[in-house]
Structure 1
Amino acid sequence: MSRGFVKESDQEEIPIVPPRAYLPEGTINYVTREGLDELLAEREELINEKENLNKADENEKRIVQNHINAKLYLLNHRIDTAIIVNLDEQPQDEIRFGARVTLKMEETGRIKTFQIVGVDEADVSKGKISFISPLANALTNKKEGDKVVLKRDKKDIVYEIISIAYT
Protein backbone atom coordinates (compact mmCIF):
# COMPACT_ATOMS: atom_id res chain seq x y z
CA MET A 1 0.00 0.00 0.00
CA SER A 2 1.23 3.48 -0.80
CA ARG A 3 2.35 5.63 2.16
CA GLY A 4 -0.17 8.20 0.87
CA PHE A 5 -3.02 6.07 2.24
CA VAL A 6 -1.66 5.68 5.75
CA LYS A 7 -2.83 7.94 8.56
CA GLU A 8 -0.07 10.20 9.87
CA SER A 9 -0.56 8.82 13.36
CA ASP A 10 0.14 5.27 12.08
CA GLN A 11 3.51 6.10 10.57
CA GLU A 12 6.55 4.82 12.46
CA GLU A 13 9.01 7.39 13.64
CA ILE A 14 12.47 6.63 12.26
CA PRO A 15 14.97 6.67 15.12
CA ILE A 16 17.96 8.97 14.82
CA VAL A 17 20.97 7.22 16.28
CA PRO A 18 24.35 8.90 16.39
CA PRO A 19 27.06 6.90 14.62
CA ARG A 20 29.66 5.02 16.61
CA ALA A 21 33.23 6.30 16.80
CA TYR A 22 34.67 6.96 13.35
CA LEU A 23 36.44 4.04 11.69
CA PRO A 24 37.47 4.69 8.07
CA GLU A 25 35.98 2.39 5.45
CA GLY A 26 38.23 -0.62 4.89
CA THR A 27 40.14 -0.16 8.17
CA ILE A 28 40.35 -3.26 10.35
CA ASN A 29 38.46 -2.89 13.63
CA TYR A 30 41.28 -3.71 16.06
CA VAL A 31 40.36 -3.94 19.75
CA THR A 32 42.01 -4.94 22.99
CA ARG A 33 40.50 -7.81 24.99
CA GLU A 34 39.23 -5.20 27.45
CA GLY A 35 37.72 -3.20 24.59
CA LEU A 36 35.77 -6.20 23.28
CA ASP A 37 34.56 -6.94 26.82
CA GLU A 38 33.28 -3.34 27.03
CA LEU A 39 31.42 -3.73 23.72
CA LEU A 40 29.84 -6.99 24.89
CA ALA A 41 28.80 -5.38 28.20
CA GLU A 42 27.26 -2.47 26.28
CA ARG A 43 25.25 -4.96 24.20
CA GLU A 44 23.99 -6.70 27.36
CA GLU A 45 22.92 -3.33 28.80
CA LEU A 46 20.97 -2.48 25.64
CA ILE A 47 19.30 -5.90 25.56
CA ASN A 48 18.33 -5.57 29.23
CA GLU A 49 17.02 -2.06 28.63
CA LYS A 50 14.91 -3.32 25.71
CA GLU A 51 13.54 -6.28 27.71
CA ASN A 52 12.65 -4.13 30.73
CA LEU A 53 10.84 -1.29 28.99
CA ASN A 54 7.95 -0.01 31.09
CA LYS A 55 6.06 2.29 28.77
CA ALA A 56 2.29 2.53 29.15
CA ASP A 57 1.92 4.11 25.72
CA GLU A 58 2.47 1.42 23.03
CA ASN A 59 3.53 4.00 20.44
CA GLU A 60 6.20 5.42 22.78
CA LYS A 61 7.35 1.87 23.59
CA ARG A 62 7.71 1.06 19.87
CA ILE A 63 9.74 4.23 19.31
CA VAL A 64 12.12 3.41 22.18
CA GLN A 65 12.44 -0.22 20.97
CA ASN A 66 13.27 1.00 17.45
CA HIS A 67 15.92 3.33 18.88
CA ILE A 68 17.49 0.49 20.90
CA ASN A 69 17.34 -1.84 17.88
CA ALA A 70 19.15 0.74 15.75
CA LYS A 71 21.87 1.13 18.41
CA LEU A 72 22.17 -2.68 18.66
CA TYR A 73 22.52 -2.95 14.89
CA LEU A 74 25.53 -0.59 14.87
CA LEU A 75 27.03 -2.18 17.98
CA ASN A 76 26.64 -5.74 16.65
CA HIS A 77 28.46 -4.72 13.47
CA ARG A 78 31.40 -3.46 15.56
CA ILE A 79 31.43 -6.65 17.64
CA ASP A 80 31.21 -8.86 14.54
CA THR A 81 34.11 -7.08 12.84
CA ALA A 82 36.32 -6.77 15.94
CA ILE A 83 39.80 -8.33 15.78
CA ILE A 84 41.42 -8.77 19.20
CA VAL A 85 45.11 -7.92 19.25
CA ASN A 86 47.10 -10.11 21.62
CA LEU A 87 49.34 -7.63 23.44
CA ASP A 88 51.80 -10.40 24.42
CA GLU A 89 52.55 -10.92 20.71
CA GLN A 90 53.44 -7.27 20.08
CA PRO A 91 57.15 -6.37 19.84
CA GLN A 92 57.73 -5.24 23.43
CA ASP A 93 60.40 -2.65 22.54
CA GLU A 94 58.36 -0.98 19.78
CA ILE A 95 55.12 1.01 19.78
CA ARG A 96 52.22 -0.84 18.22
CA PHE A 97 48.53 -1.30 18.93
CA GLY A 98 47.89 -1.76 22.65
CA ALA A 99 51.12 -0.11 23.80
CA ARG A 100 51.03 2.10 26.88
CA VAL A 101 53.44 4.90 26.01
CA THR A 102 54.90 7.50 28.36
CA LEU A 103 55.87 10.69 26.57
CA LYS A 104 57.69 13.85 27.60
CA MET A 105 56.74 17.09 25.85
CA GLU A 106 60.01 18.68 24.77
CA GLU A 107 58.84 22.29 25.21
CA THR A 108 57.24 22.01 28.68
CA GLY A 109 58.75 18.85 30.14
CA ARG A 110 55.23 17.59 30.93
CA ILE A 111 54.89 13.81 31.10
CA LYS A 112 51.82 12.07 29.63
CA THR A 113 50.94 8.41 29.32
CA PHE A 114 48.61 7.05 26.64
CA GLN A 115 47.50 3.60 25.56
CA ILE A 116 46.82 3.01 21.87
CA VAL A 117 43.44 1.25 21.60
CA GLY A 118 40.48 0.63 19.28
CA VAL A 119 38.20 3.45 18.15
CA ASP A 120 35.31 2.43 20.42
CA GLU A 121 37.46 2.22 23.55
CA ALA A 122 39.35 5.49 23.00
CA ASP A 123 38.83 8.06 25.77
CA VAL A 124 41.48 10.74 26.24
CA SER A 125 40.28 11.43 29.80
CA LYS A 126 41.30 7.82 30.62
CA GLY A 127 44.58 8.09 28.71
CA LYS A 128 43.35 5.97 25.79
CA ILE A 129 43.82 7.16 22.20
CA SER A 130 42.52 5.58 19.01
CA PHE A 131 44.99 3.75 16.80
CA ILE A 132 43.86 5.95 13.89
CA SER A 133 44.59 9.22 15.73
CA PRO A 134 47.40 11.46 14.49
CA LEU A 135 49.42 10.92 17.68
CA ALA A 136 49.10 7.12 17.49
CA ASN A 137 50.13 7.21 13.83
CA ALA A 138 53.19 9.32 14.68
CA LEU A 139 54.15 6.93 17.51
CA THR A 140 53.69 3.62 15.68
CA ASN A 141 56.93 1.67 15.12
CA LYS A 142 58.95 4.04 17.30
CA LYS A 143 61.16 2.97 20.24
CA GLU A 144 62.19 4.32 23.64
CA GLY A 145 64.33 7.45 23.29
CA ASP A 146 62.95 8.33 19.84
CA LYS A 147 61.49 11.78 19.27
CA VAL A 148 58.17 12.22 17.54
CA VAL A 149 56.81 15.37 15.95
CA LEU A 150 53.04 15.89 15.99
CA LYS A 151 52.22 18.35 13.22
CA ARG A 152 49.82 21.10 14.34
CA ASP A 153 48.45 24.09 12.42
CA LYS A 154 50.25 26.77 14.42
CA LYS A 155 53.08 24.94 16.14
CA ASP A 156 54.44 21.39 16.02
CA ILE A 157 54.64 19.44 19.28
CA VAL A 158 57.76 17.36 19.90
CA TYR A 159 57.58 14.36 22.24
CA GLU A 160 60.33 12.12 23.53
CA ILE A 161 59.34 8.50 24.14
CA ILE A 162 60.21 7.69 27.77
CA SER A 163 58.80 4.16 28.04
CA ILE A 164 56.74 1.49 26.29
CA ALA A 165 54.71 -1.19 28.07
CA TYR A 166 52.07 -3.73 27.12
CA THR A 167 50.37 -4.23 30.49
Structure 2
Amino acid sequence: MSVAFRREGDDEHLEPKFEHPIPVGPNLVTARGLRQIKQRVVELQAEVAELTDETTRKIAKRDLRYWSTRQSTAELPPKPSGERVEFGTRVTFLLDGREKTLSIVGDDEADPASARVSFSAPVSRALMGMEPGDFGDFAGREDAIEILSIAVFPQS
Protein backbone atom coordinates (compact mmCIF):
# COMPACT_ATOMS: atom_id res chain seq x y z
CA MET A 1 0.00 0.00 0.00
CA SER A 2 1.23 3.47 -0.86
CA VAL A 3 2.40 5.63 2.03
CA ALA A 4 -0.01 8.31 0.81
CA PHE A 5 -2.97 6.13 1.78
CA ARG A 6 -1.62 4.91 5.10
CA ARG A 7 -2.86 6.50 8.30
CA GLU A 8 -1.00 5.68 11.47
CA GLY A 9 -3.16 7.65 13.86
CA ASP A 10 -5.18 10.80 14.31
CA ASP A 11 -2.41 12.61 16.19
CA GLU A 12 -0.06 12.75 13.21
CA HIS A 13 -2.57 14.92 11.33
CA LEU A 14 -3.12 17.46 14.08
CA GLU A 15 -1.60 20.88 13.65
CA PRO A 16 1.49 21.26 15.85
CA LYS A 17 1.14 23.57 18.84
CA PHE A 18 3.88 26.18 19.03
CA GLU A 19 4.59 28.85 21.61
CA HIS A 20 3.09 32.27 20.92
CA PRO A 21 5.73 34.43 19.23
CA ILE A 22 7.16 37.20 21.39
CA PRO A 23 7.47 40.50 19.47
CA VAL A 24 11.06 41.59 18.85
CA GLY A 25 12.38 44.57 20.79
CA PRO A 26 11.43 46.16 24.09
CA ASN A 27 8.08 45.38 25.69
CA LEU A 28 6.89 48.96 26.19
CA VAL A 29 3.47 49.20 27.84
CA THR A 30 1.10 51.93 28.94
CA ALA A 31 -0.34 51.80 32.46
CA ARG A 32 -3.57 50.53 30.89
CA GLY A 33 -1.68 47.88 28.93
CA LEU A 34 0.15 46.67 32.05
CA ARG A 35 -3.17 46.34 33.91
CA GLN A 36 -4.58 44.30 31.00
CA ILE A 37 -1.56 41.98 31.03
CA LYS A 38 -1.74 41.46 34.80
CA GLN A 39 -5.49 40.75 34.59
CA ARG A 40 -4.93 38.20 31.81
CA VAL A 41 -2.29 36.40 33.91
CA VAL A 42 -4.67 36.19 36.89
CA GLU A 43 -7.49 34.88 34.67
CA LEU A 44 -5.27 32.24 33.07
CA GLN A 45 -3.84 31.08 36.41
CA ALA A 46 -7.38 30.49 37.67
CA GLU A 47 -8.35 28.76 34.42
CA VAL A 48 -5.33 26.41 34.49
CA ALA A 49 -6.05 25.47 38.10
CA GLU A 50 -9.60 24.41 37.24
CA LEU A 51 -9.12 22.65 33.91
CA THR A 52 -9.19 18.87 33.83
CA ASP A 53 -9.05 18.21 30.07
CA GLU A 54 -5.35 17.79 29.25
CA THR A 55 -5.51 19.32 25.77
CA THR A 56 -7.38 22.40 26.95
CA ARG A 57 -5.05 22.68 29.94
CA LYS A 58 -1.96 22.59 27.68
CA ILE A 59 -3.37 25.42 25.57
CA ALA A 60 -4.17 27.51 28.66
CA LYS A 61 -0.68 26.86 30.08
CA ARG A 62 0.89 27.97 26.79
CA ASP A 63 -1.16 31.18 26.94
CA LEU A 64 -0.14 31.66 30.57
CA ARG A 65 3.56 31.30 29.64
CA TYR A 66 3.17 34.00 26.99
CA TRP A 67 1.37 36.47 29.25
CA SER A 68 3.67 35.78 32.22
CA THR A 69 6.66 36.52 30.01
CA ARG A 70 5.02 39.71 28.77
CA GLN A 71 4.30 40.76 32.37
CA SER A 72 7.86 40.10 33.54
CA THR A 73 9.42 42.00 30.61
CA ALA A 74 6.97 44.94 30.62
CA GLU A 75 8.56 48.40 30.67
CA LEU A 76 6.60 51.52 31.62
CA PRO A 77 8.40 54.37 29.84
CA PRO A 78 8.38 57.89 31.29
CA LYS A 79 5.28 59.96 30.65
CA PRO A 80 5.64 61.76 27.30
CA SER A 81 5.90 65.54 27.19
CA GLY A 82 3.30 65.96 24.44
CA GLU A 83 5.60 68.25 22.48
CA ARG A 84 6.51 65.55 19.95
CA VAL A 85 5.15 62.16 18.91
CA GLU A 86 6.27 59.53 21.43
CA PHE A 87 5.05 56.30 22.95
CA GLY A 88 1.94 57.16 24.96
CA THR A 89 0.73 60.03 22.79
CA ARG A 90 -2.35 60.53 20.67
CA VAL A 91 -1.45 62.14 17.38
CA THR A 92 -3.69 63.73 14.77
CA PHE A 93 -2.18 64.00 11.32
CA LEU A 94 -2.94 64.23 7.64
CA LEU A 95 -2.00 61.23 5.54
CA ASP A 96 -2.48 61.81 1.84
CA GLY A 97 -4.88 64.65 2.66
CA ARG A 98 -7.07 62.58 5.04
CA GLU A 99 -7.14 63.36 8.77
CA LYS A 100 -6.36 60.45 11.09
CA THR A 101 -5.91 60.14 14.86
CA LEU A 102 -3.92 57.32 16.46
CA SER A 103 -2.76 56.47 19.96
CA ILE A 104 0.69 54.90 20.14
CA VAL A 105 0.67 51.96 22.56
CA GLY A 106 2.43 48.64 23.28
CA ASP A 107 2.31 45.57 21.06
CA ASP A 108 -0.20 43.67 23.22
CA GLU A 109 -2.49 46.67 23.66
CA ALA A 110 -2.67 47.53 19.97
CA ASP A 111 -6.13 47.50 18.41
CA PRO A 112 -6.22 49.25 15.02
CA ALA A 113 -10.04 49.18 14.99
CA SER A 114 -9.92 51.41 18.11
CA ALA A 115 -7.15 53.62 16.68
CA ARG A 116 -4.57 52.14 19.09
CA VAL A 117 -1.44 51.28 17.10
CA SER A 118 1.72 49.54 18.27
CA PHE A 119 4.83 51.68 18.59
CA SER A 120 6.54 49.17 16.30
CA ALA A 121 4.02 49.60 13.45
CA PRO A 122 5.37 51.32 10.32
CA VAL A 123 3.08 54.33 10.69
CA SER A 124 4.12 54.79 14.34
CA ARG A 125 7.80 54.58 13.44
CA ALA A 126 7.24 57.20 10.73
CA LEU A 127 5.50 59.54 13.21
CA MET A 128 7.96 59.20 16.12
CA GLY A 129 9.84 62.36 17.00
CA MET A 130 7.73 64.64 14.82
CA GLU A 131 6.16 67.87 16.15
CA PRO A 132 3.02 69.77 15.13
CA GLY A 133 3.56 71.34 11.71
CA ASP A 134 6.21 68.79 10.69
CA PHE A 135 5.99 66.90 7.42
CA GLY A 136 7.30 63.38 7.07
CA ASP A 137 7.80 60.60 4.59
CA PHE A 138 5.74 57.42 4.64
CA ALA A 139 5.57 54.36 2.42
CA GLY A 140 8.16 55.74 0.04
CA ARG A 141 6.34 59.04 -0.47
CA GLU A 142 7.88 62.35 0.55
CA ASP A 143 5.84 64.61 2.82
CA ALA A 144 2.96 62.12 2.93
CA ILE A 145 2.34 62.97 6.62
CA GLU A 146 1.62 66.33 8.24
CA ILE A 147 1.36 66.47 12.05
CA LEU A 148 -1.65 68.50 13.19
CA SER A 149 -1.68 67.96 16.97
CA ILE A 150 -0.26 65.80 19.75
CA ALA A 151 -1.78 65.00 23.13
CA VAL A 152 -0.74 62.81 26.01
CA PHE A 153 -3.53 60.34 26.70
CA PRO A 154 -4.41 59.52 30.31
CA GLN A 155 -2.00 56.98 31.82
CA SER A 156 -4.39 55.74 34.50
Partner of 2:23: 23
Residue 3 of structure 2 corresponds to: none
Distance in 1 (alpha carbons) for counterparts of 2:132 and 2:150: 7
1:126 paired to 2:114: yes
Aligned partner (choices 95, 101, 104) of residue 85 of structure 2: 95
AA in 1 matched with 2:31: R
Among all aligned residue pairs of Structure 1 and Structure 2, give the percentage whose two residues are the same amino acid. 30
Please name the residue that 1:44 is paired with. Answer: 42
Task: Give structure 1 stretches of 5+ with no counterpart.
Answer: 1-7, 56-60
- Quote how far apart the aligned CAs of 1:51 are: 3.3
SS of the equivalent of 2:147 reads: strand
Query: What TM-score, normalized to structure 2?
Result: 0.79
Number of residues of Structure 1 aligned to a counterpart in Structure 2:
141
CA contact (8 A) 2:92 2:102 kept: yes
In the alignment, structure 2 segments of 5+ residues that lack a partner are 1-8
CA contact (8 A) 1:115 1:127 kept: yes
Question: What pairs with 1:1-167 in structure 2 (closer than 5 Å)?
Answer: 16-17=17-18, 19-20=20-21, 23-24=23-24, 27-53=25-51, 61-87=53-79, 90-105=80-95, 107=96, 109-151=97-139, 158-167=144-153
Distance 2:132 2:19 in 1: 39
- Equivalent residue letter for 2:17: I
RMSD between aligned residues: 2.4
The 4+ residue runs of structure 1 with deviation greater than 6 A are none
Q: Quote the residue 2:5 is aligned against.
A: none
Q: What is the deviation of 1:79?
A: 0.5
Q: Calculate the TM-score normalised by the size of structure 1.
A: 0.74
Question: SS in structure 1 opposite 2:43?
Answer: helix
Quote the offset at 1:19 in angstroms: 1.8
Structure 1 residues 50-86: Cα deviation after superposition (integer angstroms, max 9, x where no partner)? 2343x5xxxxx12211111111111101100000123
Taking structure 1 as reference, are residues 29 and 104 closer, same or farther at Cα in structure 2, changes over 3 Å only? same
SS at match of 1:103: strand
Q: Which amino acid aligns with 1:97?
A: F
Q: 1:58: which partner in 2?
A: none
Alignment check: 8 A CA contact 1:32 1:86 kept: no
